[in-house]
Chain A
Amino acid sequence: MLRVLLAKDLRRARRNPLPWLINLIVPLAMTALIGLVFGGQSDSGALGRIRFAVVDEDKTLLSDLLRGGANQGEGGKYLEPVFMEREDALREINANKISAVLIIPTNFMRHYLTAREAVSLELIKNPAESIHPAVLEELLGAVVTALNAVSRNFNSEFPEWQAVVEGKEDYHKVSALIEHEGDKLKTVKKYINPPLVSYEKEAPADESTGVEVKNGATNSVASKSGTTKNASAKAGGSKTGATDAVFAYLLIGLSAMFLLFIAGNAMSDLYRELRQRTFERYQTLRDSLVPFLASKAVFAVVMLLLCSGMMLGGGGLIFRIHWEQPWALMTLTAGYTCFTAALFAVLVALMPDERRAAVLNNLAGMGLGLVGGCAFPPQQLPAFLREHITPLMPSYWFVNTARNLQDGGTGVAWGWVAFKLAVLALVLIVLAAILFRRRFKTGLRA
């Protein structure tokens, strides 16, 4: 019976593939969109190398130091500074060839050493990109914080250093100055080494370093871009890269949300069966409605699995995400797709009016996604939802378990969650059959 019903739907889909294709294009488009927005990946590192222009209008020793430090050591792996004039740099950014322009303005060193007025570095961010300019902004904030720290500690010696830089002091004076500074540096060593800047996934700052990196916290950084984003990363400890974790986290949530919407579309074929009275005709021949609904759900699940493959698999390829336990994730996804298909079968039974149902289905999908922590981290949800409602949401079961799997958690009960989702799907299909039967008996008209 199920085979005959599935064969019928397969034939119909083959003869009229447009609805299917649209449903398959949605995840493709979504994955491509995320890829475009977040800039994709390169082989050299998690984020790829950030290409940016440095415009040195000061042309002094300090600006040379800043220029030189931009691509030294570890920074060279991630940063690719190119040095050019302001006009050329602006042309490059307009042509979308660089992520940002860092301008070291005229008299930067003079103002810094005399401390007469606040110094400022100018950062022009490429509005067509989001992650790379944001990372640069964070880095620049750290640099300026460091410069401020140096200024606070060595302010009294700055006039002498200015004289050195301008070539007015003799070598004895210079060596005495260096020795003095060396002694002073010993006292601030712990702030400078280990590395000045470190990011934690959860905590934005490590108070012990005395350095807090916040967007806009450094008044000496002028940002000309309209949008800013915080880039968070993990300081080692995980097998996957920092951005891997971020994108995997995002991708799991977004996929869970989109699967809900696609399930709504896939199950909308039930409306067609109602409208064309073929569902009624089926009922004049068979007493049980479960096989009919199960076949629709199975058909939808196939489509949803293809879509999830595109989103999670394709997204994984774009962002070079290493899925920690792919088989477990697939099983979990299969359970979740069963649940979503069955859920929308119930919603069709509850709301046979197709136009009203479109709104209801979207609301249901969105609500389940949001409350289930697909779009926002569940920790950020209001306390009541987070503590009493979210844990009951099957969407939360899925995203939470999938994210735990990806975080490398051991002993994640993915099998039990997949089983729970599958059983819930069965219960929902039976419920949909009961609801349809009741509605038919009281006079359902699509």
Chain B
Amino acid sequence: MSLLRVERLSKTFGTIRAVDSVSLEVRPGEIYGLLGPNGAGKTTTISMISGLLKPDAGEVWIAGATFWSDPQKAKRIMGVVPQELAIYEELSGRENLEFWGRMAGLSSREARSRAAELLEALTLTDRAKDPVRTYSGGMKRRINLGCALLHRPQLLLLDEPTVGIDPQARLNILEFIRNLCAAGTAILYTTHYLEEAETLCQRIGIIDHGRLLAEGTLSELQERLGGDRVFVLEADFKNTSPDAWAGFHQRFRVIQKSERQLVVAAVGTRDPSECLKNLLDLPVHAENVTLKRPSLNDVFLQLTGRELRE
């Protein structure tokens, strides 16, 4: 049974449709990545799931019950890590953890012992007594994450938890999240970093302009491009168009076209050498042809017509 189920969730701010009929499911021991650029609707989706925002339409089920049937019960099941550092800078790391533990319903003793465990797991024990304002960005991020884990939530909502930190600190956090997942926690992870979604998440949903454009495992998403390879042809395409080439659309699907570059995926399961030969036979002066495995960026490109990094 899925721990989180979201059905046709929608939210509008004025004339802006921030989230448009988003549906997804997260199962125990699974990391579901919600991938999209800034402003795609990731945070709004998480805010609605965590009860901060009231959806205009749609429903959220937590462990089989709708969120609004018993919000306090749902809140006990989930932990939310906001994108911003929602911690008290004047307090120490330990005090922050203990405070949020008490807020989550732990007794003073439980909060103390759980805070010590988390400080150890987050490798922050030696700085536990220092005020958070003296911490590095990565350490603050780890405390921010820890504050949502005091009550051992079965479902963890992570809203871009690695924004603005160095690669080493990011790796530490990702490793910590993998361990949580291995322990059975269901995780909804929003990000705009392709690499994180590719390496961390078992299933990925691609979201843009509030709409969930595609979802599935990485290989399922790659399959949408027609297999596990794409071709990048570099030439002068200023005065020509694939529409003018006879039989081209029967053999290739255009992912992206610019004045200097054409990205295509082969239709069907044809041999790569045959595809290469077809491309070199095109009526353009090919300067370079590259064969590569399709990335999530290529999927995003195909779905939205623009790169995620733009």
User: Which residues of A pack against B, CB within 8 Å?
Assistant: 1, 4, 8, 11-12, 15-16, 276-278, 280-287, 440-443
Q: Do A283 and B52 contact each other (CB < 8 Å), given the known contacts A4-B99, A12-B90?
A: yes
Which residues in chain B, 77-123, are within 8 Å of chain A measured between CB atoms?
78, 80, 82, 84-91, 95, 99-100, 102-105
Chain A residue at smallest Cβ distance from B104: A285
Q: What is the predominant secondary structure among interface residues of chain A facing chain B?
A: helix
How far is it, in angstroms, between the C-alpha of A277 and the C-alpha of B89 when the chains are bound? 12
Q: CB-CB < 8 A to B102: which residues of A?
A: 1, 4
Which of the residues B75, B88, B91, B95 comes within 8 Å of A285, measured between beta carbons?
Answer: B75
How far is it, in angstroms, between the C-alpha of A276 and the C-alpha of B83 when the chains are bound? 11
Is B54 in the interface zone, CB < 8 Å from A? yes
Q: CB-CB < 8 A to B308: which residues of A?
A: none
How far is it, in angstroms, between the C-alpha of A286 and the C-alpha of B103 when the chains are bound? 7
Which of the residues A4, A16, A440 comes within 8 Å of B52, measured between beta carbons?
Answer: A440
A287 touches B72 (CB 8 A): yes
Is B245 in the interface zone, CB < 8 Å from A? no
How many A-B residue pairs have C-beta atoms within 8 angstroms? Tell me.
73
B51 touches A284 (CB 8 A): yes
B103 touches A440 (CB 8 A): no
Question: What are 27 pairs between A and B in contact, CB < 8 Å?
Answer: A1-B102, A11-B91, A12-B88, A15-B90, A276-B85, A276-B86, A276-B87, A276-B89, A277-B84, A281-B80, A281-B82, A281-B100, A282-B103, A283-B52, A284-B51, A284-B52, A284-B78, A285-B104, A286-B103, A287-B75, A440-B52, A440-B53, A441-B52, A442-B53, A443-B11, A443-B13, A443-B44
Q: Do A284 and B50 contact each other (CB < 8 Å), given the known contacts A4-B99, A276-B85?
A: yes
CB distance from A18 to the nearest CB of B (A): 11
A8 touches B99 (CB 8 A): yes
Given contacts A12-B88, A284-B148, 16 further A-B contacts (CB under 8 A): A8-B88, A8-B91, A11-B95, A16-B90, A276-B87, A276-B89, A277-B82, A277-B85, A281-B100, A283-B51, A284-B75, A287-B72, A440-B53, A441-B52, A441-B54, A443-B44
Which residues in chain B, 274-295, are within 8 Å of chain A measured between CB atoms?
none
How far is it, in angstroms, between the C-alpha of A222 and the C-alpha of B148 when the chains are bound? 77
Q: Name the residue among B51, B82, B88, B104 with the largest chain A CB count within 10 angstroms.
A: B88
Chain A residue at smallest Cβ distance from B88: A12
Chain B residue at smallest Cβ distance from A282: B103
How far is it, in angstroms, between the C-alpha of A443 and the C-alpha of B47 when the chains are bound? 9
A285 touches B90 (CB 8 A): no
Chain B residue at smallest Cβ distance from A278: B86
Q: CB-CB < 8 A to B104: which residues of A?
A: 285
Which of the residues B54, B85, B100, B131 comes within 8 Å of A442, measured between beta carbons?
Answer: B54
CB-defined interface of B38-71 with A at 8 Å, one 1/0 digit per residue?
0000001001001111100000000000000001
How far is it, in angstroms, between the C-alpha of A11 and the C-alpha of B131 when the chains are bound? 11
Q: Do A285 and B100 contact each other (CB < 8 Å), given the known contacts A8-B88, A277-B86?
A: yes
Is B147 in the interface zone, CB < 8 Å from A? yes
CB distance from A4 to the nearest CB of B (A): 5
CB distance from B37 to the nearest CB of A (A): 19
Q: Do A441 and B75 contact each other (CB < 8 Å), given the known contacts A8-B99, A15-B90?
A: no
CB distance from A331 to the nearest CB of B (A): 32
Closest CB pairs A-B (n = 5): A441-B54, A277-B86, A15-B90, A281-B86, A284-B80
How far is it, in angstroms, between the C-alpha of A45 and the C-alpha of B52 when the chains are bound? 64
How far is it, in angstroms, between the C-alpha of A281 and the C-alpha of B103 when the chains are bound? 10
How far is it, in angstroms, between the C-alpha of A286 and the C-alpha of B78 when the chains are bound? 12
Q: Do A285 and B84 contact each other (CB < 8 Å), given the known contacts A11-B90, A16-B90?
A: no
CB distance from B270 to the nearest CB of A (A): 50
B82 touches A280 (CB 8 A): yes
How far is it, in angstroms, between the C-alpha of A280 and the C-alpha of B81 when the chains are bound? 11
CB distance from B81 to the nearest CB of A (A): 9
B75 touches A286 (CB 8 A): yes
CB distance from A2 to the nearest CB of B (A): 11
CB distance from A68 to the nearest CB of B (A): 69
Q: CB-CB < 8 A to A16: which residues of B?
A: 90
How far is it, in angstroms, between the C-alpha of A339 and the C-alpha of B104 when the chains are bound? 30
CB distance from A164 to the nearest CB of B (A): 85
Q: CB-CB < 8 A to A286: which residues of B?
A: 72, 75, 103
How far is it, in angstroms, between the C-alpha of A144 and the C-alpha of B141 when the chains are bound? 81
CB-defined interface of B174-202 with A at 8 Å, one 1/0 digit per residue?
00000000000000000000000000000
Q: Do A278 and B90 contact each other (CB < 8 Å), given the known contacts A284-B75, A285-B75?
A: no
Chain A residue at smallest Cβ distance from B71: A287
Chain A residue at smallest Cβ distance from B108: A4
Chain A residue at smallest Cβ distance from B54: A441
How far is it, in angstroms, between the C-alpha of A437 and the C-alpha of B81 when the chains are bound? 20
Chain B residue at smallest Cβ distance from A16: B90
How far is it, in angstroms, between the C-alpha of A282 and the C-alpha of B50 when the chains are bound? 11
Q: CB-CB < 8 A to B105: which residues of A?
A: 285
Chain A residue at smallest Cβ distance from B55: A441
Chain A residue at smallest Cβ distance from B157: A284
Q: CB-CB < 8 A to B99: which residues of A?
A: 4, 8
Chain B residue at smallest Cβ distance from A438: B54
Q: CB-CB < 8 A to B90: which residues of A?
A: 11-12, 15-16
Chain A residue at smallest Cβ distance from B75: A285
How far is it, in angstroms, between the C-alpha of A277 and the C-alpha of B84 when the chains are bound? 7
How far is it, in angstroms, between the C-alpha of A281 and the C-alpha of B84 when the chains are bound? 10
How far is it, in angstroms, between the C-alpha of A281 and the C-alpha of B80 when the chains are bound? 8
How far is it, in angstroms, between the C-alpha of A267 and the C-alpha of B82 when the chains are bound? 24
Chain B residue at smallest Cβ distance from A288: B72
How far is it, in angstroms, between the C-alpha of A287 and the C-alpha of B95 when the chains are bound? 22
How far is it, in angstroms, between the C-alpha of A283 and the C-alpha of B75 when the chains are bound? 9
A15 touches B91 (CB 8 A): yes
A281 touches B147 (CB 8 A): yes
